């Protein structure tokens, strides 16, 4: 007698019945599910950080696929599992090919696989460059909020790097109640800086938008500095640029030289993840031989175990956790299911009987 196979209930959980289902969710569907929901996604990311901080997750190191003939390119695998109400396993597979920008394509492309935690069967594949940008921006907005609660709230923001991630971060800051008097813009590409400035004006920002030719001018004129570049090694090395004690969202992870971090208070999303792959915090650890320069994680701040000082620059360096992608991806899957917009692939799983 053959045991009945599980089938998808529509929420990623399988039940006894026929064969499991498999859905493909397009980028258009992802964007429709997430658009205009910045507050909900930031709340989801906060809840996920808290689950991770309490140990209700599995988030092993990311795996980097690199190419000797294409040294600037990489593809990264982020496996993870998250508990709580999300309760899903999965994998993000994301590529970064900076030369794409030259040809008019986004640098990053990605897919996310969601697996049922009971059977291990994958039940969905989602376009994930939007999910990745969304969780990155939500994490940045969450950090900006928590790390400024004991400091003067920034009114001047500067974007160092003006690609897709910068756009998403601005969207999430605006969507969670941030208002700025001035917005500074700096990029090594004048076209990118002009394009981002155009986006800001089209978005209806009341802030004064200034394009800075000098990186130093951008940093010195900003209370909140967002680094969102594709830098592979540090290129900002003078701690004096940060003498006005700004809050720094070091999203791209490799912009700041060790000297800058050593003169600042440093917070990360996950210590073990962030101190790898020659990130700026990893370079500090290699230079000093210890991790004493770290003040804590974002979860430490949220739970009151650590607090950002007011008399030093405060730098948040998030490596980016796969559990965040899972949480946002499961949110998208559930939204598509509720909307009746789930596109199932017939007979994706085949030959499911053990002996035919």
Give per-residue pLDDT as tens, 228-244.
998 989 999 999 999 99
pLDDT at res. 1: 28
Instruction: Return residue ranges of the chain for CATH 3.40.50.720.
Output: 135-317
Question: Rounded to 10 degrees, what is the CA torsion of 237, 243, 244, 248?
Answer: 30
pLDDT at res. 73: 94
Q: 5-131+323-338: CATH homologous superfamily? A: ornithine cyclodeaminase, domain 1 (3.30.1780.10)
Average pLDDT, the chain: 93
CATH no. of 135-317: 3.40.50.720
pLDDT at res. 18: 63
Residues 254-290: tens digit of each pLDDT:
999 999 999 999 999 999 999 999 999 999 999 999 9
* pTM score of the predicted model: 0.92
CA 264 to chain CA centroid, nearest Å: 22
pLDDT above 70 for 16: no
Residues 192-238: tens digit of each pLDDT:
999 999 999 999 999 999 999 999 999 999 999 999 998 989 999 99
Instruction: Return residue ranges of the chain for CATH 3.30.1780.10.
Output: 5-131+323-338
Residues 89, 79: Cα–Cα separation, whole Å: 8
pLDDT at res. 12: 53
Residues 95, 100: Cα–Cα separation, whole Å: 11
pLDDT band at residue 107 using 50, 70 and 90 as cut-offs: confident
């Amino acid at each position: 007698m053959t045991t009945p196979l599980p089938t998808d209930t529509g929420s990623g959980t399988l039940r006894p019945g026929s064969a499991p289902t498999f859905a493909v969710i397009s980028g258009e569907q992802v964007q429709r599910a997430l658009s205009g929901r910045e507050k909900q996604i930031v709340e989801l990311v906060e809840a996920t950080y808290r689950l991770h901080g309490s140990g209700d997750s599995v988030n092993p190191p990311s795996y980097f696929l690199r190419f000797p003939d294409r040294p600037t390119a990489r593809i990264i695998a982020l496996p993870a599992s998250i508990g709580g109400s999300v309760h899903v396993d999965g994998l993000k597979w994301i590529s970064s090919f900076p030369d794409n920008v030259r040809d008019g394509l986004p640098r990053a492309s990605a897919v996310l696989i969601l697996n049922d935690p009971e059977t291990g069967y994958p039940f969905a594949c989602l376009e994930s460059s939007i999910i990745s940008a969304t969780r990155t921006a939500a994490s940045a907005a969450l950090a900006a909020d928590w790390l400024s609660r004991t400091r003067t709230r920034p009114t001047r923001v500067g974007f160092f790097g003006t690609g897709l991630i910068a756009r998403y971060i601005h969207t999430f800051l605006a969507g969670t109640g941030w208002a700025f008097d001035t917005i500074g813009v700096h990029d090594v590409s004048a076209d990118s800086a002009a394009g981002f400035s155009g986006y800001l004006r089209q978005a209806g920002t009341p802030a004064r938008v200034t394009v800075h030719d000098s990186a130093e001018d951008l940093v010195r004129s900003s209370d909140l500095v967002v680094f969102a570049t594709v830098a592979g090694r540090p290129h900002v090395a003078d701690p004096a640029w940060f003498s006005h004690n700004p809050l720094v969202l070091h999203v791209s992870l490799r912009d700041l030289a060790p000297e800058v971090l050593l003169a600042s208070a440093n917070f990360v999303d996950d210590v073990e993840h962030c101190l790898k792959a020659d990130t700026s915090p990893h370079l500090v650890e290699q230079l000093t031989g210890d991790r004493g320069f770290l003040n804590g994680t974002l979860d430490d701040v949220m739970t009151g175990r650590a607090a950002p000082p007011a008399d030093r620059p405060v730098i948040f360096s998030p490596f980016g956790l796969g559990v965040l992608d899972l949480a946002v991806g499961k949110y998208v899957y559930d939204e598509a299911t509720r909307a009746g917009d789930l596109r199932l692939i017939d007979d994706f799983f085949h030959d499911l009987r053990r002996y035919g």
